[in-house]
Amino acid sequence: MTQDIEQAFETLKRGTVEIYSEKELKEKLIDAQKKGRQLRIKLGMDPTAPDLHLGHTVVMRKLRQFQDLGHKAVLIIGDYTARIGDPTGQNTTRPVLSGEDIDKNAQTYFKQAEKILDTSKEKLEIRPNGEWLRDLDLAAIIKLCSSMTVARMLERDTFEQRYKKGDPISIHEFLYPLMQGYDSVMIESDVELGGTDQTFNNLAGRDLQRINAQQPQIVMTMPILAGLDGIEKMSKSKNNYIGVTDEPADMFGKIMSISDEMMENYFTLLTDVPEDKIAELIDSEKTHPKKAKALLAKDIIAQFYDSEAAQQAEAAFEQVFARRELPDDMPETVMAAEPTPLSRMIVSAGLAGSGGEAKRLVKQGGVSVNGEKMSDPTAQIAPESGMVIKVGKRKFAKVVVK
């Protein structure tokens, strides 16, 4: 194995839970290099939940790594099954969607996915699976179903639990993994990416490709990202997520709120920070956790915006953070609503004995309004109720507009 292949393999392996199999992945990488061909890396897209959060980006970042190594991302839009939904109506993650809804959702998805993926034509292929699934007839479906046994299907984690508990499993639920596997056959994928919750479905693709005389795809599983609460997986419904379209300031604040224990996971799965560097960052003897989280937050924001936005988000956070340190029992000062020079406000709030002292304090950099440091004592300020004027480290006043 040449050094660049070795390096590529290590990059790709980072953060994965399982690779079926590492040996086959290496062989594919070598073969692709030798033949100068692109590997086809499959990722399924769920058109019922188009809004992406960081949980989704874990596999998408892996997909991007493949693209950066020259390979082709093949995104499968599950439009066919979305159009059908779950006929029993029990599975709320399979609602019936109209063609219009699906198109809209796919648009939203791709607009957001652009932030992570290389969308150039030679690096990305988008295929709705209705393209081939709508042509399947009963004979083809019977053939497809003949390739998998009931026992094997019931070994699948979620089915096994439900079956043991006596919860009903409808037979059509057995069809979905087979459809997904059939997608792999149709696009001749070399690798399929997915969360660990997709392991079974993705392995079905291996089986079906084997039966159809194709080289079985490599299956790489990525961990499910924990939500901000550190308890449940990141999801919109749990409101413990960071959306990829969140404002930089929101992203920053949310990352700062995670527990110290979660940092390593987030660094590994959401950034390219090298592993030895991560080790330093999560060692509280070497790096203050607050500082490490700020670095994590800025890294992530820079991915979706740029480093300037990341810096601004940090500064804004610091301001808010500073404001949070205000005492609860600040003296109030009643003012009229008209714009007033800052120095006069300071005096009338009783924070300086004279206009001269007030001017001096401002010029020394010891005065802030709403956490924002002021430099011009003549600045015209429009008083608002709740506005906080701070002088030095310990003198505050809260404005009440009459």
Give the Cα separation of 201 and 184 in Å (integer): 11
Give the Cα separation of 81 and 178 in Å (integer): 12
Among residues 84 and 316, whose Cβ is nearest to a second copy?
84
DSSP helix/strand/coil, 332: strand
Inter-residue contact 358 to 352 (CB < 8 Å): yes
Tell which positions 104-133 bind a second copy, by CB under 8 A: 133
By CB under 8 A, is residue 158 in contact with a second copy?
Answer: no
The single residue among 9, 66, 80, 109 that binds a second copy, judged by CB under 8 A, is 80
Among residues 36 and 168, whose Cβ is nearest to a second copy?
168
- The CB-of-297 to a second copy minimum distance in angstroms stands at 44
Q: Which pair of tokens denotes residue 330?
A: 């600040």
- The CB-of-56 to a second copy minimum distance in angstroms stands at 26
Inter-residue contact 301 to 309 (CB < 8 Å): yes
The single residue among 36, 120, 138, 327 that binds a second copy, judged by CB under 8 A, is 138
The piece of 78-86, 97-105, 107-115, 365-373 that touches a second copy (CB under 8 A) is 78-86
Tell which positions 162-221 bind a second copy, by CB under 8 A: 163, 166, 168-172, 174-175, 178-179
Residue 103 C-alpha from the chain's centroid: 22
Total residues contacting a second copy by CB under 8 A comes to 37
- The CB-of-129 to a second copy minimum distance in angstroms stands at 10
Give the Cα separation of 400 and 330 in Å (integer): 12
- The CB-of-144 to a second copy minimum distance in angstroms stands at 8
Give the Cα separation of 130 and 84 in Å (integer): 11
By CB under 8 A, is residue 157 in contact with a second copy?
Answer: no
Residue 236 annotated in ligand binding: yes
Inter-residue contact 51 to 243 (CB < 8 Å): yes
From 250, 198, 236, 242, select the one nearest 220 (Cα to Cα). Answer: 198
By CB under 8 A, is residue 329 in contact with a second copy?
Answer: no
Q: Mask of contacts with a second copy, 339-368, x by CB under 8 A?
A: ------------------------------
Q: Mask of contacts with a second copy, 35-74, x by CB under 8 A?
A: ----------------------------------------
CA-CA-CA-CA dihedral for 178, 214, 8, 261, to nearest 10? 20
From 255, 354, 340, select the one nearest 299 (Cα to Cα). Answer: 255
By CB under 8 A, is residue 83 in contact with a second copy?
Answer: yes
By CB under 8 A, is residue 321 in contact with a second copy?
Answer: no
Instruction: State how far the alpha carbon of 12 is from the alpha carbons of 28, 49, 158, in Å.
Output: 13, 26, 28
The single residue among 5, 30, 49, 136 that binds a second copy, judged by CB under 8 A, is 136
CA-CA-CA-CA dihedral for 157, 162, 163, 164, to nearest 10? 90
Among residues 151 and 231, whose Cβ is nearest to a second copy?
151
Among residues 169 and 249, whose Cβ is nearest to a second copy?
169
Give the Cα separation of 159 and 168 in Å (integer): 10
End-to-end CA distance of the chain: 77
Inter-residue contact 71 to 220 (CB < 8 Å): no
User: Could you write out the DSSP letters of every residue in 258-295?
Assistant: S-GGGHHHHHHHH----HHHHHHHT-TTTS-HHHHHHH
Helix residue ranges per DSSP H, 191-239: 199-211
The piece of 19-27, 135-143, 318-326, 392-400 that touches a second copy (CB under 8 A) is 135-143
- The CB-of-47 to a second copy minimum distance in angstroms stands at 16
Among residues 2 and 161, whose Cβ is nearest to a second copy?
161
By CB under 8 A, is residue 327 in contact with a second copy?
Answer: no
Among residues 168 and 353, whose Cβ is nearest to a second copy?
168
Among residues 155 and 372, whose Cβ is nearest to a second copy?
155
Q: Interface residues with a second copy (CB under 8 A)? A: 80, 83-84, 86-88, 133-134, 136-139, 141-151, 153-154, 159, 163, 166, 168-172, 174-175, 178-179
* Sequence ranges of the binding site for ATP: 236
- Binding annotation: 236
